[in-house]
Amino acid sequence: MEPTISFFSGLQISDLWYLMEAAWRTVLISALSITIGTVLGVVFGWILYEGRWAAALTLGPLLDVFRSVPLIIQLVLFYNFAPIIGLNLDPFFSGVVILGIYCASLVANVARGGMEAVSRPMRRAARSLGMSYWQDLRYIVLPIGGRAVFPSWVGVALGVMKDSALVSVLGYIELLKASQILITRTQEPLLILTIAGAFYFALSYPISRYAASIEKRWTS
């Protein structure tokens, strides 16, 4: 009698390590994208704040494109058209570029809102004390405006971290892609997705709680 050949196997300890490695890749691509997006977003927000109508007619529509077009479409288009202009990027760096720009388009409006939260009389008072424009921006506008929109920025950051799962369409093996690979092999979708969801929760919850503690400290 011939032995039975099984193409599937149950979940193993090594699979948990595989998911942990994929979770680390999710953290890595998210951290880089959020950092780049935050820096660019603050710059774009400042341009929108100071540029007024000129910025609203030029930079504003461009940022609206990245906010409006589904992220998965942006990822696929950039990854396939980047080599045409000489950018031979792997899935990781392609994901960082698009996630970073997408994050920047969201942070730009958040940053502009924070700057607008600082009243003009307060800024005039700072200038009357001898502060330069850049000193006023550094010591008055950014600290006060940053506190006002900090919760919104945290929401954007957590959203970008979850949206990083879409980079899997490019072949980058992050947490969701690794889960799909294990589901195909183990045929245990509920168990694998539950574990993946637990990993996402373990990544997101400490950030949200730490952000809440910072807010509480600021308001106390």
pLDDT tens-digit series, residues 192-214: 889 888 988 988 888 888 888 88
Flag whether 220 is in a domain.
no
190 to each of 14, 59, 60, 97, 182, how far by Cα in Å?
18, 44, 43, 32, 11
Q: What per-residue confidence (pLDDT) applies to 86?
A: 83
Collapsed DSSP state (helix, strand, coil) of residue 197:
helix
Flag whether 8 is in a domain.
no
Q: What is the pLDDT of residues 17-27, one digit of tens each?
A: 888 899 999 99
Q: What per-residue confidence (pLDDT) applies to 10?
A: 65
How many folded domains does the chain comprise?
1
Helix (H) / strand (E) containing 17: helix 13-51
Per-run averaged pLDDT (10 residues), the chain, 220 residues:
49 81 92 95 90 74 89 92 86 93 94 87 84 87 87 92 90 87 84 88 88 81
The set of residues, in sequence order, having a beta carbon less than 8 Å from that of 162 and lying 6+ positions away, is 200, 204
HSE on the CB side for 40, CA within 13 Å? 18
What's the CATH code of the domain at 144? 1.10.3720.10
Q: What per-residue confidence (pLDDT) applies to 3?
A: 45
Flag whether 83 is in a domain.
yes
Q: What per-residue confidence (pLDDT) applies to 13?
A: 75
Flag whether 134 is in a domain.
yes
CA angle 27, 28, 32 (to 5 degrees): 115
Domain residue limits at 59: 21-174
